[in-house]
C-alpha cells in the first residue's frame, strides 16, 4: 500500500468521521460538568439516541425527524438523571451508572425488531468537490451535516462559556453554587438545562453512529465510546477546544488500528485496540499530578449535591 | 399542603426498608414496560420472577449467579464505604480469571489436591494487582479512580481476547477463541449431582463473614467508616489515608478476582471471551441495594441474580432480548436512589388550618 498524498487525505477524512460521536458526546458532557454535575450516563444516553434515531428513520423514512427525535430521546432519558440528582438529591456517580445500565438494556429491548434492517444512505454535502480536489477534497468535503456541526461545536461551546452571559452563569453555578444562588441564580434550573443539553448531544452522537457511521442497529453498538467521551472531558481539562484535539487523537488511533491490521502490521489487534484506553490513563496521570493545572478549569463543585433550604 | 423538612438523623429501620420499596416499584415499572411492549404484564412478570426459581435446578442457578455478585459486592462495599469509587470490578474479575486461568492451564494435564487452591490464590492476587493500579495512581498521582478503573476494564477484556485467540488458544481447538479445558483438579467441586452450584458459594459466604468482622470489629473497619463519613475527621484523627485507599482497593480487587476464578473453575471450566455477563458492573447495584451491609448484600445478590435468570427465561418463552435484565437492574438502582430521599427528608402532609396560615 503506497502512502501517497491522496490516501493520506482519505485517511484524515475517515479519522474525522470516527471522532464525531466523541466530539458531540464530550462537548455535551463538558457543559453538564461545567455546571457542576457529573453524569456518568453518557454511554446509556448515546445508545438510546442510536436506537431511537434508527427506529424513527425506519418508521417515518425521514432523516430529519430521526435526528431531531434522537436528540429528544437523549433529553428525555437525561431528564431521569436530572430529576434524581437535582430534585431528589441522589449521588451523581451511582445515578449515572444506573442510567448507563438502564439505557443499554432499554435500547436492546426497543431495538429487538430493528436488528438486521439495512440503514438508509445519509446525504453528504459537496460530494463533487470531494472527488475533484486531491488531498483537501476528502478532508473538507463529502461529509454529512452532522460532521460539520460537530466540528463547529467545540468553538461554539468555547464562545458560549467564555463570551456570553449565560456561559458565565453556567460556570458560576459549577464553581460556586452557593454564591451563584445568593446572586439570585436558580442553580437547580441551570443544572437541569445543562443536563438536558448534554442528553441532547449524546443522543445526537448515538444517532450519528446508527444513521451515518455504520447505518444499522446493532445491540450495544456504542461499544464504550460514551466512556471514552467522559474520559475526554477530563483529558481536555474541561476546555472545549482540547476536546476537539483529544477526539481527533482517539479517532486517529481507531482508524490507524484498522489500517495497521489491513497492512498486516505485526502487533496483535487487541493491543492496538487497547491504546485509546491506555492513552486516557496516561494522560490522566500527566494532567492530574499537577494539581494547579487540573484545578484551573475543573468545576469546583463537580459531582457535589447542592441543596437550598427553603 | 405538602411540607418537606430535612431530617436530623436517618432512621435505621427506614434505611433498610427502602430497598424493598425500590424492588416493589421496579416490579411495577417492569410490568408497565412489558405492557407497553405488548406483552401480558402479569404473565411476563411471572416468567421473570417466579418460573426461574420454581424448581430445584432453577434455585441452584440462582445461587450460582448470586455467588460472584455477592463476592464482588462485598469487596466493593469496602471501597464505597470509604468513598473510593472503584467501578472497574469487571476488569479486576477478568484479570483475576486470566491469572487464575493461566495457573490452571499450567496444570492442564495434571491432577492433584494442591492445584485448585493455587488457582484460587492466583486469581485473588491477579484481581488485587489489577485493582492496585487505580489505587496507586489515585494516591500518588491524584488521578480520578472512576475513569482509570473503568478504562482498565476494556484493557483486561482485550488482553483476555488476545490470550484466548493467540498464545493460550487450544492447539486442538480448531481455532475457536478458547483455551484447553482445565483438568478436574482445577475445577470447583460440585455440591450436588446434576446441579451446577459449586463450592465457590463458600468463598462468598466466607467473604461475607470476614467483611462483617473487619468492618464492625476491627480498627481498620472503623477507619474505613470514618473516612467515608468525613475525610476531614479522618485526617484529623491521623488515619493513614493513602494506606487505607490501597487496602480497600486490594480487598475489592481480590474479591472480584475470586469471583472470576469461581466462574472459570466452576461452570465454565476454561477461558473464553465471555466469562462474565457484566457481573462486575451489576455488583455495584448489589452493593447499593444491600446498603453496603454484608448481610444486606447476600439478600441483594439473590434479588439481582433473579433479574439475570428472569431475563434468560423471558428470552426463551417470550423472545424478549436478554438485555431486559439490565432494564430491571437500572430501575432497581434508580428507585433505590430515589427512595433515599425519604431518608434525608420528612414529607409531611399538613391539614391547612386557619391559625397555621397566619404564621
**In the 3-class helix/strand/coil scheme, how is chain B assigned residue by residue?**
CEEEEECCCCCHHHHHHHHHHHHHHHHHHHHHHHHHCCCCHHHHHHHHHCHHHCCHHHHHHHHHHHHHHHHHHHHHHHHHHCCCCCCCHHHHHHHHHHHHHHHHHHCCCCCCCCHHHHHHHHHHHHHHHHHHHHHHHHHHHCCCHHHHHHHHHHHHHHHHHHHHHCCCCCCCCCCCCECCCCCHHHCCCECCCCCCCECHHHHHHHHHHHHHHHHHHCHHHHHHHHHHHCHHHHHHCCCCHHHHHHHHHHHHHHHHHHHHHHHHHHHHCCCECCCCCCHHHHHHHHHHHCCCCHHHHHHHHHHHHHHHHHHHHHHHHHCCCCCHHHHHHHHHHHHHHHHCHHHHEEEEECCCCHHHHHC
Interface touch B284/A227, C-beta < 8 Å: no
CB interface of B with A, residues 198-227, below 8 Å: none
Express each pLDDT in A135-157 by its tens digit.
Answer: 676 777 778 889 999 999 999 99
Contact A210, A69 (CB under 8 A): no
How near does any CA of chain B get to the CA of A150, in Å? 24
Residue A294 has pLDDT above 90, yes or no: no
Please indicate, yes or no, if residue A254 is contained in any of the structural domains.
yes
The Cα–Cα gap between B247 and B251 comes to: 6
Q: Cα B190–B255–B313 angle (5° rounding)?
A: 55
CATH number of the structural domain spanning residue B305: 1.10.3470
The Cα–Cα gap between B153 and B247 comes to: 20
Interface touch B148/A112, C-beta < 8 Å: no
Residue B5 phi, psi dihedral angles, 5° rounding: -125, 145
Mean pLDDT, range B10-36, rounded to an integer? 88
Q: Please check whether residue B124 touches A, CB under 8 A.
A: no
Interface touch A268/B162, C-beta < 8 Å: yes
Interface touch A97/B324, C-beta < 8 Å: no
User: pLDDT band at residue A196, thresholds of 50, 70 and 90?
Assistant: very high
Contact B85, B145 (CB under 8 A): yes
Interface touch A91/B337, C-beta < 8 Å: yes
Q: Which of B182, B321, B142 is nearest to A284 (CA)?
A: B142
CB interface of B with A, residues 126-155, below 8 Å: 137, 141-144, 146-148, 150-152, 154-155
CB contacts, 8 Å: B166 with chain A: 268
Please indicate, yes or no, if residue A303 is contained in any of the structural domains.
no
The larger pLDDT score, comparing residue B224 to residue A300, is at: B224
Residue B345 phi, psi dihedral angles, 5° rounding: -130, 145
Surface-to-core class of residue B4, CB atoms within 10 Å of its CB (0-12 exposed, 13-18 middle, 19+ buried): exposed
Contact A72, A151 (CB under 8 A): no
Interface touch B321/A270, C-beta < 8 Å: no
CB interface of B with A, residues 229-268, below 8 Å: none
The larger pLDDT score, comparing residue B300 to residue A299, is at: B300
The larger pLDDT score, comparing residue A28 to residue A237, is at: A28
* The pLDDT of residue B349: 67
Residue B320 has pLDDT above 70, yes or no: yes
* The pLDDT of residue B15: 83
Host domain of residue A135: 5-297
- How much of chain B, in percent, has pLDDT values that exceed 70? 96
Residue A11 has pLDDT above 90, yes or no: no
How near does any CA of chain A get to the CA of B323, in Å? 5
Residue B347 has pLDDT above 80, yes or no: no
Work out the number of other CB atoms within 10 angstroms of the CB of residue B16. 15
CB contacts, 8 Å: B285 with chain A: 98, 101
* The pLDDT of residue B325: 87
Count of residues making up chain A:
310
Instruction: Look up residue A203 and give its three cell numbers.
Output: 443522543
The Cα–Cα gap between A194 and A28 comes to: 8
Beta-bridge partners for B345: B6
Residue A67 has pLDDT above 90, yes or no: yes
Nearest to B142 among A111, A274, A289 (CB): A289
* The pLDDT of residue B36: 86
Mean pLDDT (chain A) is 87
Q: Please check whether residue B340 touches A, CB under 8 A.
A: yes
Q: Which of B304, B92, B297 is nearest to B212 (CA)?
A: B297
User: Which chain B residue has its CA at the smallest distance from A232's CA?
Assistant: B147
User: pLDDT band at residue B359, thresholds of 50, 70 and 90?
Assistant: very low
Host domain of residue B125: 2-358
Query: Testing the interface with A: which of B142, B319, B320, B322 to mutate, by most A Cβ within 10 A?
Result: B142
Please indicate, yes or no, if residue A27 is contained in any of the structural domains.
yes
Residue B38 has pLDDT above 90, yes or no: no
Nearest to A94 among B154, B162, B337 (CB): B337
Instruction: Look up residue B96 and give its three cell numbers.
Output: 483475576
* Half-sphere exposure for A123 (CA within 13 Å, toward CB): 7
Please indicate, yes or no, if residue A171 is contained in any of the structural domains.
yes
Residue A20 has pLDDT above 90, yes or no: yes
Top mean pLDDT of A132-141, B12-21, B95-104 is at: B95-104
The Cα–Cα gap between A223 and A46 comes to: 10
Interface touch B334/A101, C-beta < 8 Å: no
Nearest to B155 among A95, A274, A284 (CB): A274
Rounded to the nearest 10°, the torsion over CA B117, B118, B124, B130 is -170
Interface touch A288/B143, C-beta < 8 Å: yes
Q: Which of B349, B13, B313 is nearest to B21 (CA)?
A: B13
How near does any CA of chain B get to the CA of A142, in Å? 33
Task: Give the distance, in angstroms, between the CA of residue A172 and the centroid of all CA atoms in the same chain.
Answer: 23
Interface touch B147/A284, C-beta < 8 Å: yes
User: pLDDT band at residue A68, thresholds of 50, 70 and 90?
Assistant: very high
Contact A285, B137 (CB under 8 A): yes
* The pLDDT of residue B119: 96
Interface touch A88/B338, C-beta < 8 Å: yes
Surface-to-core class of residue A14, CB atoms within 10 Å of its CB (0-12 exposed, 13-18 middle, 19+ buried): middle
CATH number of the structural domain spanning residue A78: 1.10.3470
Q: Please check whether residue B125 touches A, CB under 8 A.
A: no
Helix axes B145-165, A269-289, angle to 10 degrees: 160
The larger pLDDT score, comparing residue A22 to residue A140, is at: A22
The larger pLDDT score, comparing residue B293 to residue A273, is at: B293
User: Which chain B residue has its CA at the smallest distance from A235's CA?
Assistant: B147
Interface touch B143/A90, C-beta < 8 Å: no
- Number of domains comprising chain A: 1
* The pLDDT of residue A234: 81
* The pLDDT of residue A26: 96
User: Which chain A residue has its CA at the smallest distance from B153's CA?
Assistant: A277
Least confident of A92-96, A102-106, A296-300, B343-347: A296-300
User: pLDDT band at residue B146, thresholds of 50, 70 and 90?
Assistant: confident
Residue A1 has pLDDT above 60, yes or no: no
Instruction: Look up residue B280 and give its three cell numbers.
Output: 462486575
Q: Please check whether residue B42 touches A, CB under 8 A.
A: no
Q: Cα B201–B109–B191 angle (5° rounding)?
A: 20
Please indicate, yes or no, if residue A139 is contained in any of the structural domains.
yes
Interface touch B147/A230, C-beta < 8 Å: yes
Residue B47 has pLDDT above 80, yes or no: yes
The size of the A-B interface in CB pairs under 8 A is: 144
Contact B130, B205 (CB under 8 A): no
Interface touch B285/A271, C-beta < 8 Å: no
Interface touch A102/B37, C-beta < 8 Å: no
Q: Please check whether residue B158 touches A, CB under 8 A.
A: yes
CB contacts, 8 Å: B308 with chain A: none
Interface touch A291/B142, C-beta < 8 Å: yes
- Number of domains comprising chain B: 1
* The pLDDT of residue B357: 47
Phi/psi-derived region of residue B125, left when phi > 0, alpha when psi is between -120 and 50, beta in every other case: alpha
Interface touch A98/B328, C-beta < 8 Å: no
Nearest to A101 among B330, B337, B340 (CB): B330
Look-up: residue for cell 496521570? A285
Mean pLDDT (chain B) is 89
Query: Testing the interface with A: which of B146, B161, B336 to mutate, by most A Cβ within 10 A?
Result: B146
CB contacts, 8 Å: A231 with chain B: 147, 151
Interface touch B329/A88, C-beta < 8 Å: no
Say whether the ipTM exceeds 0.90.
no
The Cα–Cα gap between A43 and A25 comes to: 9
The Cα–Cα gap between A119 and A81 comes to: 30
The Cα–Cα gap between B250 and B133 comes to: 10
How near does any CA of chain B get to the CA of A132, in Å? 41
Q: Please name the residues in contact with B236: beta carbons below 8 A apart, sequence gap of 6 or more.
A: none
Amino acid at each position: 500500500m503506497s502512502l501517497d498524498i491522496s490516501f493520506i487525505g482519505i485517511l484524515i477524512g475517515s479519522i474525522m468521521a470516527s471522532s464525531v460521536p466523541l466530539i458531540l458526546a464530550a462537548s455535551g458532557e463538558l457543559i453538564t460538568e461545567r455546571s457542576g454535575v457529573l453524569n456518568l450516563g453518557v454511554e446509556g444516553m448515546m445508545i438510546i439516541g442510536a436506537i431511537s434515531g434508527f427506529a424513527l428513520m425506519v418508521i417515518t423514512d425521514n432523516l430529519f425527524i430521526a435526528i431531531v427525535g434522537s436528540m429528544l430521546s437523549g433529553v428525555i432519558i437525561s431528564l431521569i438523571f436530572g430529576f434524581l440528582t437535582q430534585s431528589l438529591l441522589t449521588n451523581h456517580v451511582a445515578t449515572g451508572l444506573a442510567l448507563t445500565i438502564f439505557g443499554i438494556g432499554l435500547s436492546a429491548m426497543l431495538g429487538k425488531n430493528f436488528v438486521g434492517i439495512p440503514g438508509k444512505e445519509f446525504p453528504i454535502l459537496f460530494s463533487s468537490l470531494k472527488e475533484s480536489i486531491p488531498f483537501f477534497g476528502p478532508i473538507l468535503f463529502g461529509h454529512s451535516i452532522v460532521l460539520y456541526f460537530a466540528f463547529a461545536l467545540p468553538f461554539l461551546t468555547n464562545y458560549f462559556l467564555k463570551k456570553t452571559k449565560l456561559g458565565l452563569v453556567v460556570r458560576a453555578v459549577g464553581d460556586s453554587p452557593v454564591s451563584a444562588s445568593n446572586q439570585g441564580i436558580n442553580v437547580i434550573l441551570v443544572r437541569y438545562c445543562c443536563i438536558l443539553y448534554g442528553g441532547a448531544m449524546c443522543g445526537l452522537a448515538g444517532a450519528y453512529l446508527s444513521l451515518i457511521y455504520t447505518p444499522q442497529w446493532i445491540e450495544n453498538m456504542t461499544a464504550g465510546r460514551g466512556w471514552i467521551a467522559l474520559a475526554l472531558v477530563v483529558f481536555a481539562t474541561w476546555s472545549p477546544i482540547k476536546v476537539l484535539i483529544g477526539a481527533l487523537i482517539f479517532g486517529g488511533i481507531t482508524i490507524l488500528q484498522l489500517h495497521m491490521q489491513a497492512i498486516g502490521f505485526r502487533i496483535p489487534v487487541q493491543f492496538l485496540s487497547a491504546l485509546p484506553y491506555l492513552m486516557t490513563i496516561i494522560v490522566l496521570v500527566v494532567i492530574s499530578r499537577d494539581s494547579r493545572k487540573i484545578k484551573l478549569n475543573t468545576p469546583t463543585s463537580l459531582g457535589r449535591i447542592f441543596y437550598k433550604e427553603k | 399542603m405538602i411540607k418537606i423538612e430535612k431530617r436530623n438523623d436517618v432512621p435505621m429501620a427506614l434505611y433498610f426498608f427502602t430497598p424493598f420499596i425500590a424492588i416493589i416499584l421496579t416490579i411495577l415499572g417492569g410490568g408497565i414496560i412489558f405492557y407497553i411492549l405488548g406483552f401480558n404484564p402479569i404473565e411476563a412478570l411471572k416468567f421473570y420472577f417466579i418460573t426461574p426459581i420454581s424448581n430445584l435446578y432453577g434455585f441452584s442457578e440462582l445461587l450460582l449467579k448470586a455467588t460472584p455478585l455477592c463476592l464482588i459486592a462485598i469487596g466493593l462495599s469496602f471501597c464505597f464505604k470509604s468513598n473510593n469509587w472503584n467501578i472497574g470490578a469487571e476488569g479486576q474479575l477478568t484479570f483475576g480469571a486470566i491469572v487464575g486461568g493461566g495457573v490452571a492451564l499450567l496444570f492442564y494435564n495434571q491432577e492433584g489436591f494442591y492445584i485448585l487452591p493455587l488457582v484460587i490464590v492466583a486469581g485473588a492476587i491477579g484481581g488485587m494487582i489489577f485493582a492496585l493500579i487505580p489505587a496507586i495512581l489515585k494516591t500518588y498521582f491524584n488521578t480520578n479512580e472512576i475513569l482509570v478503573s473503568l478504562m482498565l476494564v476494556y484493557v483486561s477484556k482485550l488482553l483476555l481476547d488476545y490470550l484466548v485467540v493467540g498464545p493460550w488458544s487450544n492447539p486442538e481447538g480448531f481455532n475457536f477463541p478458547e483455551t484447553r479445558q482445565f483438568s478436574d483438579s482445577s475445577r470447583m467441586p460440585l455440591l450436588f449431582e446434576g446441579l451446577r452450584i459449586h463450592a465457590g458459594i463458600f468463598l462468598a459466604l466466607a467473604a461475607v463473614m470476614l467483611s462483617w468482622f473487619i468492618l464492625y470489629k476491627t480498627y481498620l473497619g472503623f477507619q474505613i467508616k470514618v473516612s467515608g463519613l468525613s475525610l476531614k475527621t479522618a485526617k484529623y484523627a491521623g488515619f493513614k489515608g493513602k494506606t487505607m485507599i490501597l487496602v480497600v482497593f486490594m480487598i475489592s480487587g481480590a474479591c472480584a478476582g475470586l469471583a472470576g476464578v469461581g466462574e472459570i473453575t466452576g461452570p465454565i471450566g476454561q477461558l473464553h471471551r465471555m466469562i462474565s455477563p457484566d457481573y462486575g458492573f451489576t455488583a455495584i447495584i448489589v452493593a447499593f441495594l444491600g446498603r453496603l451491609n454484608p448481610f444486606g448484600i447476600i439478600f441483594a445478590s439473590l434479588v439481582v441474580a433473579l433479574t439475570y435468570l428472569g431475563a434468560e427465561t423471558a428470552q426463551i418463552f417470550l423472545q424478549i432480548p436478554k438485555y431486559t435484565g439490565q432494564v430491571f437492574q437500572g430501575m432497581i438502582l434508580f428507585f433505590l436512589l430515589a427512595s433515599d430521599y425519604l431518608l434525608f427528608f420528612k414529607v409531611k402532609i399538613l391539614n391547612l388550618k386557619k391559625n397555621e396560615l397566619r404564621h
